[in-house]
Amino acid sequence: MNEISFKVNGKSETVNVHPFSRLLDVLRNDLQLTGTKEGCGEGECGACSVFIDGVLTNSCLIPIAQVQNCEVETIEGVAEGEKIHKVQRAFIDMGGAQCGICTPGMIMATLNILRDQPHPNDDAIREGLAGNFCRCTGYTKIIDAVKKSIEEREDESISS
């Protein structure tokens, strides 16, 4: 067991775990941040997406030792207290929040698109969501939600 210290959503955390424990498991089991989901567990589906030092990452592939002194951002850090983020609102309004397993990862991927690209077109949206799988109803409503998020950004920045 090792002590690993890092920040999660701006809060300093120290856990005493095996250094090869997956970040996904530490978030969910040790820190009770269960918004980050497990889908495939193999780096394929994006359900476990978090930001590590600003980089969108599949937390199921990351040994906890790798995030020592890093800043991790999870879906719990996206809303401001009781006030949900505009991207979350867009997913609700457009029916993009469907099964609950893929949605947190989809929202993190959408934030990544918004942070990286000033004016993403349809191809850029699809590419930005390429690492996130929806296995149930398809991507139409999810893409509509991303587009709504992009439109809403025209007047004010939602990428910070």
Given the rule CB under 6 A, which of 26-34, 82-90, 101-109, 112-120 is the region that contacts ligand FES?
Answer: 101-109
Nearest-CA neighbor of 6 among 61, 63, 85? 63
Q: How far is the CB of 154 from ligand FES (least distance, A)?
A: 27
Q: Between residues 4 and 102, which has the closer beta carbon with respect to ligand FES?
A: 102
DSSP 8-state assignment for residue 34: T
Q: What does the alpha-carbon distance between residue 9 and residue 5 come to, in Å, rounded to a whole number? A: 13
Window 19 to 58, contacts with ligand FES (CB under 6 A): 38-41, 43-48, 58
- Which is closer to ligand FES, CB of 3 or CB of 92? 92
Q: Which of 9, 29, 98, 117 binds ligand FES (CB under 6 A)?
A: 98
Give the strand order in the sheet containing 11-17. 11-17, 2-8, 71-73, 49-52, 55-58
Is the Cβ of residue 28 or residue 85 nearer to ligand FES in the bound state? 28
Nearer to ligand FES, 30 or 44 (CB): 44
Q: Which is nearer to ligand FES, 19 or 138 (CB)?
A: 138
Task: For residues 56 and 68, give the distance between their C-alpha atoms in angstroms, rounded to a whole number.
Answer: 17
Cα separation, 49 vs 132, in Å, equals: 9
Distance, in Å, from the CA atom of 153 to the CA atom of 58, rounded to the nearest integer, reads 26
**Site string (125-144) toward ligand FES, x via CB under 6 A:** ---------xxxx-------
Q: CA nearest 10: which of 84, 81, 73, 76?
A: 73
* Binding footprint of ligand FES on the chain (CB under 6 A): 38-41, 43-48, 58, 60, 98-99, 101-103, 134-137
